[in-house]
Structure 1
């Protein structure tokens, strides 16, 4: 078991989420940076769907009540073992400081976090309220049963970018709601990530993207990576806890592989979108 001594700004339990339930009004949720979460599990020989801790902006401190193996990926925190299995003896404490680059770190435990599943997933969905509550001081996290050890003990992975990120974007289903010059603005602007961003989506600040059509849409299905343009004209890039439906036009989609990288952008960083 692990006891939470400090939860930081936001720490949640995440796995692969609840795919295939959009028709029931239930979003997938799951880890914002799926690549980093999957890597942490692979390093420990966990099942791909094992639950990990998603730590936003550091600040997590946990005490091992029994000796456990852990692995940290995603945003790297100063002074913390990274990208390799690390033994945490019984009674010892692991503390994550602020990330040196990136925003979200993933802490896996050999055996996985054995929180109670809800609708087949242990993921915390902040928009719907499904899954375990965000971690709080005093929480005790049970650890599941471990599988076979993997064949590697170190992962030389790329770090989240410290400055501007470039991501690929393709036209969305309502691209025709915007003039050609607006599309050029979308793909030539350095969009700033605002402090209003969260697991639902990145709110981007820059030039106003004006529609060339009046009126509103009937609600349509939404997916991770959608770039929705609300009446403010400031686009929102949907992340893991995005709504299942939305009524604002989607001007484009960010390539799925790049959404993981976008999830590591901290407020104040910039994002450029390339066709």
Structure 2
């Protein structure tokens, strides 16, 4: 597979985890500037850690691929525009061959990370595919017309697990933007979870109310959101009552799938068919 640059935007470079261990040669580690956003982009498309991505400063990147591909964008609130259809940051996009894809200009943040399943497969320099602007090492900045090879899809690549939910009973305690984020972003299962609750890490969900909520009954699959904004999915050993607002409740089948998720797995929440 190949990715063709149609427009590079203000500054687009290739980045990976960097080239540490060469300071004695006067070479800095380089690599992705925002390491968490870089790692998250690769995880979303099922790439192994260290795969090369495109680091795009202030959007403006436009490209196409010659085969169907799986993409993800992280790092800012910029979105992918796929033939004009908007796909938000943190979402996984499946793109057909020949379709024009663009990265919008972010309103917040500076650098976006575009991962393609398989990774940008340019030749490494000193063990890294990162562009080092100061040293002039690594692949050159892509320009319009450049064709970047994409590696083979990694064996066993796993996409986020979709968990169907009904919103409520306390979705009105959250901002409209938070509800939209909840239904579009990808969350990662943390090691802190157990049979009481599945603890997730991802975009924080902001409340529209600051009042205290009296304790009320909760059920298996309830998605409770504490003050830090990180969702907790109650499992079989959940408490009888909870004092934080419940944004949504998983369907029984989704609750069963959630029970099998290991730390590091990624999930997305989608509305159950009858809730559309």
User: Considering the TM-score relative to the shorter chain, is it more than 0.5?
Assistant: yes
| Helix, strand or coil at the partner of 2:186 | coil
Given candidates 130, 140, 152, the residue that maps to 1:133 is: 140
How do 1:53-72 and structure 2 match up within 5 A? 53-72=54-73
1:150 is displaced (CA, Å) by 2.4
1:18 is displaced (CA, Å) by 0.3
Gaps of 5+ in 2: 80-85, 162-184, 188-201, 205-276
Q: Distance in 2 between matches of 1:112 and 1:17?
A: 14
Q: Distance in 2 between matches of 1:129 and 1:151?
A: 35
| Helix, strand or coil at the partner of 1:100 | coil
Deviations 1:40-67 (A, max 9, x none): 1011111101000000000000111111
1:93 is displaced (CA, Å) by 1.0
| Helix, strand or coil at the partner of 2:24 | helix
Q: TM-score, normalised by structure 1?
A: 0.56
Alignment partner of 1:155 is 2:186: yes
- Runs ≥4 in structure 1, deviation > 6 angstroms? none
Alignment partner of 1:123 is 2:154: no
Structure number with bigger Rg: 2
How do 1:225-244 and structure 2 match up within 5 A? none
What corresponds to 2:20 in structure 1? 19
Q: Distance in 2 between matches of 1:77 and 1:104?
A: 9
Q: Distance in 2 between matches of 1:10 and 1:76?
A: 17
| Helix, strand or coil at the partner of 2:107 | strand
Deviations 1:22-49 (A, max 9, x none): 1121100000001000001011111101
Alignment partner of 1:86 is 2:86: no
Asked if the contact 1:51–1:112 (Cα under 8 Å) also holds between the matched residues in 2, the reply is yes
1:97 is displaced (CA, Å) by 1.5
What corresponds to 2:258 in structure 1? none
What corresponds to 1:6 in structure 2? 7
Q: Distance in 2 between matches of 1:29 and 1:158?
A: 27
Asked if the contact 1:80–1:96 (Cα under 8 Å) also holds between the matched residues in 2, the reply is no
Deviations 1:164-218 (A, max 9, x none): xxxxxxxxxxxxxxxxxxxxxxxxxxxxxxxxxxxxxxxxxxxxxxxxxxxxxxx
What corresponds to 1:169 in structure 2? none
Q: Distance in 2 between matches of 1:123 and 1:37?
A: 12
Residue-pair matches, total = 159
Q: Distance in 1 between matches of 2:124 and 2:132?
A: 12
CA RMSD of aligned residues (A): 1.5
1:151 is displaced (CA, Å) by 5.5
Deviations 1:73-95 (A, max 9, x none): 00121434321221010010111
Q: TM-score, normalised by structure 2?
A: 0.55
RCO (CA 8 Å, sep 6+): is it higher in 1 or 2?
Answer: 1
Alignment partner of 1:77 is 2:84: no
Q: Distance in 1 between matches of 2:91 and 2:153?
A: 16
1:142 is displaced (CA, Å) by 0.6
1:152 is displaced (CA, Å) by 2.2
